Chains A and B, each alone.
Chain A
Amino acid sequence: MGKILIVDDTLFMRTLLKNILFSGGHTIAGEAADGDDAIEKYRELKPDIVTMDVVMPKMNGIDALKGIKALDPNARVIMCTAVGQEQMVKLAIKSGARGYIVKPFQAPKVLDEIKNILES
Chain B
Amino acid sequence: MSSERKNILTLTLKGPPETTLSLATVPKALLVLKKMIIISCSAYRLAAYFMSPAIRGGVMVTDAQWEKGSIAVLKTGIWFVGEEKQVSIPLNDVAGIELTKRDVQKKQVDVVKTDHLENTDVVTSFVLCPLSTLHVLFNFLKDATKDMDMRGDELDPVSAQVGMLIYSGMDSHAIETMLSVSNKELESIYDKLLKLGLIEVRYIRREVQLTPKGVRFITEAVKLPAE
Binding site for B on A (CB under 8 A): 12, 15-16, 19-20, 84, 86-87, 89-90, 93, 99-110, 112-113
Q: Are A16 and B58 in contact (CB under 8 A)?
A: no
B21 to chain A, nearest CB (A): 41
Q: Are B174 and A106 in contact (CB under 8 A)?
A: no
Bound-state CA distance A19–B168 (Å) is 10
Interface size, chain B (Cβ < 8 Å): 23
Residues of B81-133 at the interface with A, using a CB-CB cut-off of 8 Å, are 100, 102-103, 120-122, 124
Known contacts A12-B161, A87-B103; is-contact A99 B60 (Cβ 8 Å): yes
CB distance from B28 to the nearest CB of A (A): 25
Q: Is B59 among interface residues, defined by CB-CB distance under 8 A?
A: yes
The answer to whether B168 and A105 touch across the interface, beta carbons within 8 angstroms, is yes
Q: Does B55 touch A at the CB level, under 8 Å? A: yes
Question: Is the beta-carbon distance between A86 and B102 smaller than 8 angstroms?
Answer: yes
The answer on a CB contact under 8 Å between B55 and A102 is yes
Q: Given the complex of chains A and B, what is the CA–CA distance between A33 and B59 in angstroms?
A: 22
Chain A residues contacting B27 (CB-CB under 8 Å) are none
Q: Is the CB of A109 within 8 A of B60?
A: no
Q: How far is the CB of B97 from chain A (nearest CB, A)?
A: 13
Which chain A positions have C-beta within 8 A of B60? 86, 89, 99-102
Complex formed: what's the CA distance from A61 to B100 in Å? 24
Q: Interface digits, B46-64 against A, CB 8 Å rule (1 contact, 0 not)? A: 0000000001111110100
